[in-house]
Amino acid sequence: MTRHGEEEEPQCYCVDFIEGVEDKCKVQPPSPHVERIAVDLIDVQEAEWDSEIEIFLQQLEDDLEETPKVVERPPELKELPPSWKYVFLGDEFKKPMVISSMLTPLEEEELLREAKK
């Protein structure tokens, strides 16, 4: 600690002391005991997070099991006038499309090819 003259305020002594302690702390590495405590605290926190994550994942799985599966029914087809007919873009009578019944097979095939794009 440095000695100051009588004209300086006593608060300067405190500053000199703190600077000296600060210099010593910079030189000395933290003790293994402090490091162990820090690591233990991190491990405890990670264990809590793991527990919370497990609970959250279980809730998600439960929600998935409770969600009813949607069964797709084929669309309800209505009777068409004689000049119109149904064709289907998808398998198993899915995605119906109404076209003219006056089309030739070649025209019908071209129309379906364009509609599927």
pLDDT tens-digit profile of 57-69? 998 888 877 767 7
For residue 55, with 0-12 CB atoms within 10 Å meaning exposed, 13-18 middle and 19 or more buried, which class applies?
exposed
pTM for this structure? 0.38
Please give the Cα distance from 13 to 111 (Å, whole number).
Answer: 95
Split at pLDDT 50, 70, 90, the class of 82 is: very high
pLDDT at residue 23, as a whole number? 64
